[in-house]
Amino acid sequence: MIAGLRAITLDLDDTLWPIEPVIERAEIALHEWLEQHAPAVAVRYDIEAMRLLRDTVARERPEWAHDFTRIRHTSIGLALQHCGEDPALADAAFAAFFDARNQLEPYPGVDEALVQLARR
C-alpha cells in the first residue's frame, strides 16, 4: 500500500456499471415524458433526432465538452422551443431523463469490491 494514501477515485460509467443501457433507458424515459407533456416535441424529435440535436449543441459549444448535463438540458430546451413549447419545461424533462440516468445496475462483484476497498 502506498504510504499516506487516503483516497482513490473511480470513473463510474463503464467502470462500475455499463453506461450504454443506462443512457438508452434514460432517453426512453425522456421521450415518454415528452409524449405526455410536449407531444409535438416527441413527434418531431424521436430518440435519434434528440441525439442529433444534442450532438449539434455539443459541436457548437465546444467549451461545454465535459458538461453533459448542460449540453443535454440545452438540447431539450431547443427542441421545446423549435416546437413552440415553453423552454422552461426543459427542467422537468431533464429531471425525467436524470432520474432514469441514475437507475444503475453495477457489474457483478462491484459491491463486494467497494466494500473491500473501503476497509483499507
Amino acid 12 reads: L
pTM of the model: 0.88
Among candidate residues 15, 84, 85, 94, the one with its CA nearest the CA of residue 54: 94
Architecture field, domain 24-101: Up-down Bundle (1.20)
How many residues are given for the chain? Answer: 120
pLDDT single digits (tens) 60-78: 999 999 999 999 999 999 9
Grid cell, residue 70, equals 448542460
Burial class (CB within 10 angstroms; exposed 0-12, middle 13-18, buried 19+) of 70: middle
Average pLDDT, the chain: 95
Query: How many CB atoms neighbour CB 119 within 10 A?
Result: 6
Amino acid 83 reads: C
pLDDT single digits (tens) 13-42: 999 999 999 999 999 999 999 999 999 999
